Structure 1
Amino acid sequence: MVRIIHPVNILITGATGFVGTHLCEYLLSQGHEIHGTYIYPQEVERFPEHLRGNITLHSCDLSEMEQVKHMLCDTSYDQVYNLAAISSVHQSWSKGQELVLKVNLYGWLNLLEGLHACSPNARILMVSSGEVYGIVPPEKQPTTESQPLRPINPYADSKAAQEMFSYQYIHRYQSQVVIVRPFNHTGPRQSPDFVCSDFARQIAEIEAGRRDPIISVGNLEARRDFSDVRDIVRAYALALKHCPIGAPINVASGSAHSIQHVLDTLLSFSRVPIEVRRDPKRMRPSDTALMLGDAALLRQYTGWKPEIPLEETLASVLEYWRTQIDGKQ
C-alpha cells in the first residue's frame, strides 16, 4: 500500500533574499508547497531561475498591515519562516534605527497579528540573532541561551524586541512561535555587506581585471562563529518541527575563526597575487572581539550538527562571485 503524505503549506517571508533562496531550495527538496514574499520587482529578477516556477511569490511589505492582511487571508499556512528583515549590523547603522524598528519589529508584529487571524495554528519561526547577547566575556563563551541579552547595535536591539513581543502572542493567543538565534553564516548569493562575501567579490573583481590588485579590509582580529547557509536552513526546518515554543535556541557551529583566517583562506584560492590594505571606513562603530555560540540545545532537540567545513563554504562563495562577475563581462 502506498502511503500518501500531504505536503506542508509553507510561507517564507523574505523568500527572495540570501537565506530565503536557500530555504526555498531545501524545503522544496522535502516536497512541500512554498509561498514567499518580496517587496521590490528587482528581487524577483534576481530570484534563481530554477525556483521561479516552483515558488508562489507575493508582493508584500510586512510593515504595511493592509498588505499583510491581503497576503495572508487567501491561504492557510501550516508553517511560517520569518526571514524578512534589515539583516546586518552594518545596514542597521547606515539606515538608522527608526527604519530598522519599522521593518524588523513592526513587520514582525503585523505578521503575528495577521497569522493569528488567518492561520492561528501555524508554527512560526522567529529568526533572532546571536547579536542579541552583545559583548560576552571570553570566559563565558561558547555562549549559551542562558546568557543575558545586552544588544549593542540597532539590528540586535530590533531582534531582542522581536523576541520579547513574541511572548505576548504565545501567552495571549497560544501562537506557536519557535525562536532561533543564529550566529554568523555565509554562502553563495550573500550580499557583499557581509565580510566573507565582500572579500570574495573583491577577489573575483581583481581576477577579472575590474579593479586594482588591492583588497580593502576592516578589523581582521575579530573572531566569529561561521556556519554555511545550507546547514543553517536545515537547522531552521528541524528547529521549527522539533524545538519547544518560546524557548530561544542557538544555531551555531561551535567553532570561532578570525576574519584574518577568512581572508587568508579566500586569498589562497585567488588566481592572482593581491595586496591587502586596511580601510578605516570598514570599521564598525561597535564591534565585539569574539562571538562563539553553543548549539547543544539544538543538537539535543533535533540531532542537528554542521556538515559543511568553512573552507568549502568560502570556496563556494568565491566561485559564486566569479560566476557573477563573468556574467557581467
Structure 2
Amino acid sequence: MDGSRAHARATFLLTALVCSAALTAGCSATSPRPVEREGPEKAPAVSGAPTIRGSAGDLQAAYEKVVKDVLPSVVQITAGDSLGSGVVYDDKGHIVTNAHVVGSAQSFKVTLATGGGPVGARLVAAYPEQDLAVVRLDEVPKSLKPATFGDSSKVEVGQIVLAMGNPLGLSSSVTQGIVSAVGRTVSSGRSGGGTGATIANMVQTSAAINPGNSGGALVNLAGQVIGIPTLAATDPELGRGPAPGIGFAIPAVTVRTVAGQIVRSGRVTDSGRAALGITGRTIVGPDFTPAGVAVVAVNQGGPADRAGLRAGDVITAVGGSGISTMQSLSEALAGLKPGERTEVTYDRDGAEHTTTVTLGEI
C-alpha cells in the first residue's frame, strides 16, 4: 500500500457530534428556534468546484451571497430532547442528516429556515455504518429549498468553506474556514449516542464544528454542499475536549449515494463498503496491549472462508496496514472496495501466514 493511502488512514481520537452538553463534540443542545426566512423551491443539482478571484470586497460579497443562497436549505431537527441539523435533499420533503442525530427516534420536529413553525417528519431510514439518515416531512411547504450538492472529488486543500447549522442550538449559524485535508479515514465512538462508524474519504476542515452542527452543511463559495459535518477531533491533553479547528465532514458523493438509495428504496441496497465476512474481536498480548483481531466466526462461503481463514486465526495486517484492534481493521477496510484483492496476514497456532482475499460487501 502506498504512503498516501496509509496517511489517509491515520487514526484520530474522535467523537461523534452526539447529544452532549458544553463544548464537546455533539449533535444536540437546548436552543431558541431558528430565524425563519422565505425562499424559492428548487430541485437537487450537482456541480463542480468553483474558482474564486477578485478583491477582499469581492470575497466578502461572495460570503454574503453563499449564506443567502444556502442557509435556507439548512434545517433544525428536534429528536426528543436533542437538537441537530439537516439539509434539504429534494423538493419532495426529504432531509438528509446524520444517523447519530436521529438516534433511535422515528418521528421529529423540523424547523425550516424558509418560514413557518415546526413541521412533523418521520424517519425513512438510517444507515449507521456511514452515519447518515434521511427523514421526510409530513407536509411539504411550498417554500422548501433543496440544496445544491457539489462534486466533492474536486475539493482541494486550502479551499474556503463555510459550515452552516445550529451549533449549541444557535439556529442558522455560520462559521468559516478552509479545507485542511481530504481523504481522511476516521472513526467515531459509540459513547453518548455515536454510531461507531468508520468513514473513508472525509473532508477535514478548520471551520468551527460544535454540538448541533451535525447533519448541517459544509459549503464552498459556489454555494454547493461539499459535505455533511459529522465529527470533531478530541484532544486527550484537554481532557478529551474538542481539538480546535479539526472537524470532519462526510463527502457529498457519499451523501448522494447513501441518501439517493434511501430515497429510492427505503434502505441502502449497495453499500460500496468492503468486508472480509468475519465476526471478530480485539485481543491483547502478554503486555496487555491490543495485539490483533481474533476471528470468532467466518461467514460460510464468504471472502475469508474462500481464502482459507478460520475461527481462531488472529489477523495482524490487511493490505500492508498493521491491525491491532477492530477499529484499525474497520479503517483498513474503509479504504478498499468490494471485489478488490488484498493480502491478509494472520497468526495461526503461533505461526504467521499470508493469504489473498477477494473482498466482499457489507
More strand by share: 2
TM-score strictly above 0.5: no
TM-score band by shorter chain is under 0.3
Q: Structure 1 length normalisation: TM-score?
A: 0.24
Greater Rg over alpha carbons, structure: 2
Q: Structure 2 length normalisation: TM-score?
A: 0.23
